[in-house]
Amino acid sequence: MKSFLVIGTVDAPKDNGGLTLREQTKRKTWRGLASSPRPPEYLGLQVIFIFLSILTPLRLAREHLIFPQMNPSQMDSFDIAIIGGGPAGCATALSIRKSAPSLTCIVIDDADPENFKVGESLPPESGRLLHYLDASLMKTMSSRVSSGLHTPCSGNASAWASSQVEERHSIMNPFGHGHHLDRANFDEMLRCAVDQGPSTTLKKGKFSSIHKRDDGKWILDLDVQGTQKGIEATWVVDATGRKASLATKIGAKVVTSNPLLAFFAVFTSPDPEIGIGDNDMRTLIEATASGWWYSSLVSRNPRTRVVVFHTSPSHPIAKIVRRAEGFLEHLKESSMHVFGIVEKGEYEMENKYPRCTAAGSSRLDSPCDGAAHWVAVGDAAMAFDPLSSQGMMTALEMGSYAGLHLSSVLMGKEEEIQLQGVLENTYDRVVSEYEKHRGYYYSIVKRFPGELFWEST
């Protein structure tokens, strides 16, 4: 179908109840595709509206209609725009604020703080990093641990290579104990810290599209409580998680390997007097013939335990554990240690579970582009098998590291090509170490010969 033109005119405004020419012009503007108010000398001139071919409506509308009518001086402008307000995105923003307080940074996030999130273990060494990013974070953490919202992690226990539990107590760690988190609450704490700074801003909104202007600035389209809003930024950071929403719109591709599904459920104790008997503060991992279980006590107020089952997407058990009765039955039949804790605590699974999420390895084919001014951090750049227990820590470290180098580039202390080289080399080393250790820990499980899951990992 060919494009076609519709020619219309806007008459010069007449006297109308004392309204200014500009106000009258706004009222006269033809409805449909919005036209910016014209100053008086332009009134009466023909206004051309280009109605576009259905073959290319979005691209041409963006290039010819929407953005040319936006006055850049009226658009909020930032040095860095970060899409995603999880640990990686917030760490990037806080690191930028720490390194270069004069730089302006906005974090766009649409997370619901009431939704439960998997990924609730924070290792002991995270304390120093949180303190570096913002001294108030550890004070807030301590207060919430005292109230029972988060719980200390006393160590790691695993029935992995054998059915017997092997334990590594946190007393052996020079950094002390880690934490089991109410993850949604932890993320909200980070977002609040971002929003409290003079140069960092948190915006509740949903990222929808991105394009680059001729002057090199990124223009991001946001949905803010149902209202479309545009912002401009010199650099953009993808912290959207495994989906890498921003990077893939720019042209990057997600490369996956070692496919894995995580079926998770939240268990609560209906009777506080009974539930209080569960004082097992360990991270517990248990291998079974069809996959492996994970569990931890994430909150004492109310007493809440998360239970996760990991298996391959192609395994027949994946269809069974999607349903509540199948999940509970498989927990009882396949697990000795995790099921024992759930049974002893007389826990009940909440109604909306189990849920399923991707948990395999993935990474972007290119995690950054210095010339194009974009970087990916956290799971958007690389996502790990939960067995590594480093997802949260890596996200915080990666965001801190990227924020430090972004600050150096924008302050003129580092070249763009240097940033790209440093980040790519660092990311490659992290992935290489991860794959080596992942391969080793899966290979030492020999007690399920011939089982599909262990043969394919």
The pLDDT assigned to 25 comes to 36
How many angstroms separate the CA atoms of 241 and 192, rounded? 20
Q: Do you find a cis peptide bond into 302, omega within 30 degrees of 0?
A: yes
The region of weakest confidence among 27-31, 104-108, 138-142 is 27-31
Q: What is the CA radius of gyration of the chain?
A: 26
Same domain, yes or no: 87 and 113: yes
Same domain, yes or no: 174 and 202: no
pLDDT-derived band at 277, boundaries 50, 70, 90 = low
Q: Which is more confident, 223 or 73?
A: 223
- Residues 48-52 have a mean pLDDT of 27
Same domain, yes or no: 321 and 423: no
* 112 found inside a domain: yes
Q: Do you find a cis peptide bond into 354, omega within 30 degrees of 0?
A: yes
Same domain, yes or no: 437 and 354: no
- The alpha carbon of 125 is separated from its chain's Cα centroid by a whole number of angstroms, namely 21
Q: Which is more confident, 71 or 92?
A: 92
Is residue 307 within 8 Å of residue 267, measured between CB atoms? Answer: yes
pLDDT-derived band at 302, boundaries 50, 70, 90 = confident
Same domain, yes or no: 310 and 423: no
Query: For position 318, which CATH number holds?
Result: 3.30.9.100
**Residue ending a domain, choose from 330, 359, 388:** 359
Beta bridge partners of 201: 106
Same domain, yes or no: 107 and 231: yes
pLDDT-derived band at 278, boundaries 50, 70, 90 = confident
The pLDDT assigned to 34 comes to 35
Same domain, yes or no: 243 and 168: no
What is the percent of the chain with per-residue pLDDT over 90, rounded to a whole number? 70
How many angstroms separate the CA atoms of 54 and 56, rounded? 6
pLDDT at 40 over 50: no
pLDDT-derived band at 236, boundaries 50, 70, 90 = very high
Q: Which is more confident, 376 or 34?
A: 376
Q: Which is more confident, 35 or 383?
A: 383
Q: Which is more confident, 123 or 93?
A: 93
Same domain, yes or no: 244 and 388: yes
* 457 found inside a domain: no
Same domain, yes or no: 104 and 232: yes
Q: How far is CA 433 from CA 50, 427, 439, in A?
A: 55, 10, 10
Same domain, yes or no: 233 and 285: no
- Residues 115-142 have a mean pLDDT of 90
Same domain, yes or no: 201 and 272: no
Beta bridge partners of 186: none
pLDDT at 44 over 80: no
How many angstroms separate the CA atoms of 222 and 233, rounded? 13
Tell me how many domains the chain contains: 3
Which strand (E) or helix (H) includes residue 251?
A: none
> What pLDDT, in 10s, does the model give residues 199-225?
999 999 999 999 999 999 999 999 998
What average pLDDT does the chain have? 84
What is the percent of the chain with per-residue pLDDT over 70, rounded to a whole number? 82
**Residue ending a domain, choose from 331, 359, 387:** 359
pTM: 0.82
- Residues 118-139 have a mean pLDDT of 91
